[in-house]
Amino acid sequence: MDELFKGVADPVRREILSLLRLQPLNVNQINEHFGDISRQAVSKHLQLLEESGWIKIYQAGRERYGYLNKTAFYSLKEWLDAYLQWGEQSVENDHGVFLEWTAYEKGAPLTHPVMLQAMLSKDKEFDGLFYNAVRTTGIFCKPSCSANPRPDNVTFYLTREEALKNGYRACKRCKP
């Protein structure tokens, strides 16, 4: 995986990949495309792409053709899918914590990880859905409060009343 990322960590190499998306090209054709980059530099990029698994080289006599190696793309996709499928899993799985793009549906369970991330990201969508009370200060806040309490010191409550009942005072900044 480190190799794969190293392979695409350069714009020239990503451009080579995008050229090869259309068809295999020999080294000369790739060189022609990069008029302003030395042959040597292009060769080096090709070598790195090959070593990192993004392309394969086909050699016929002195001619070398580069073509895309599907496996690399699928490996990266697999890595990404672990994150991108979170939203779907969350329906059954107590709502996952990948919240940046997953709108929270009212009524879905507010698990600890969900509330923690909502608090860390100061997500206004969660204001009114739960309160974070800080044990060290005795104050409770809305998730979007500008204060940054240490997560270890925070207890979550689903209602204001519950926070008050447990001896917490409302924050003067966010007025929960």
The footprint of Zn ion (CB under 5 A) covers 141, 145, 147, 171, 173-174
Comparing CB distances to Zn ion, the nearer of 54 and 140 is 140
Least separation in angstroms between residue 167's CB and Zn ion is: 16
CB 12 within 8 A of CB 43: no
Comparing CB distances to Zn ion, the nearer of 119 and 145 is 145
Least separation in angstroms between residue 6's CB and Zn ion is: 44
Rounded Cα distance, 140 and 43, in Å = 61
Q: Pairing between strand 139-141 and 63-68? A: unpaired
Comparing CB distances to Zn ion, the nearer of 110 and 147 is 147
Q: Which residues of 5-24 are buried (b: 16+ CB within 10 A; e: fewer)?
A: eebbeeebbeebbebbeeee
Closest CA to 171 of 109, 99, 119, 111: 119
Q: Write down the H helix ranges in 86-141.
A: 86-89, 112-120
Least separation in angstroms between residue 139's CB and Zn ion is: 7
Helix and strand element counts for the chain (H, E): 8, 7
Rounded Cα distance, 68 and 57, in Å = 9
Least separation in angstroms between residue 130's CB and Zn ion is: 13
Comparing CB distances to Zn ion, the nearer of 49 and 145 is 145
Q: How far is CA 3 from the centre of its chain?
A: 19
Least separation in angstroms between residue 68's CB and Zn ion is: 52
Comparing CB distances to Zn ion, the nearer of 16 and 145 is 145
